[in-house]
Amino acid sequence: MYKYNKILNYPVNIKNKDLKMAKLIITQLGGYAGELGAALRYFCQKFTMPDDEGKALLNDIATEELGHVEMISSILCGLMKDASLKELEEAGLSGYYVEHGKGIYPLDTGEVQFDTKLFAVTGDPIVDLEEDLAAEEKARIVYERLIDYAKTDDLIAPLLFLRQREVVHYNRFKELLEKYKREKDIK
């Protein structure tokens, strides 16, 4: 079903470590509005979409979200590269380091671990798509706030790309939701 292309959706080439940004950006991996939750949410919801169009759309976006997980992970690796124990401690990442080293692990900014309780799958296409719209808007606003803190173009550019993809996903989900509501009204 899947074919992995060994390229990112958008190039990531972080030039300088920035542990404070790493601590913030990790929320887009494992936080309530993060990419991992989105990928799993859409993948699970696709099975109860009422037609092939809905199943395909949710599958396509779930797959793209996995690509975003890879981008965020690549950004985190770049931001933490060559960090000393002292630098990690000063950035408030001692606990993270003790448990995960410089590995990538899904957390939010408060170091709360990713949990599937962060999203719902109801089996009702309209309810699920309404949640998906909200999820995309939450992710968009988090990216905008991360961009506010970002200082370098090598970080801002991929964050802008990811933010724009949230807008595209929102619009695609909205189109599908409107179609399903029209069909429900006809019945």
For the chain, which domains are there? Answer: 19-186 (1.20.1260.10)
pLDDT in tens, 36-46: 999 999 999 99
Q: Is the pLDDT reported for residue 116 higher than 70?
A: yes
> Shortest CA distance to 121 belongs to which of 112, 130, 108, 110?
130
Q: How many CB atoms lie within 10 A of CB 78?
A: 20
Tell me what pLDDT residue 3 has: 78
From its phi and psi, is residue 30 left (phi > 0), alpha (psi between -120 and 50) or beta? Answer: alpha
Across the strands, what pairs with 113? 107
Q: Are 78 and 152 in contact (CB under 8 A)?
A: no
Tell me what pLDDT residue 1 has: 65
Task: Say what percent of the chain tops pLDDT 70.
Answer: 99
pLDDT in tens, 69-106: 999 999 999 999 999 999 999 999 999 999 999 999 99
Strand, coil or helix: 113:
strand
Give the span between the Cα atoms of 91 and 100, in whole angstroms. 15
pLDDT band per the 50, 70, 90 thresholds, residue 5: confident
Tell me what pLDDT residue 155 has: 98
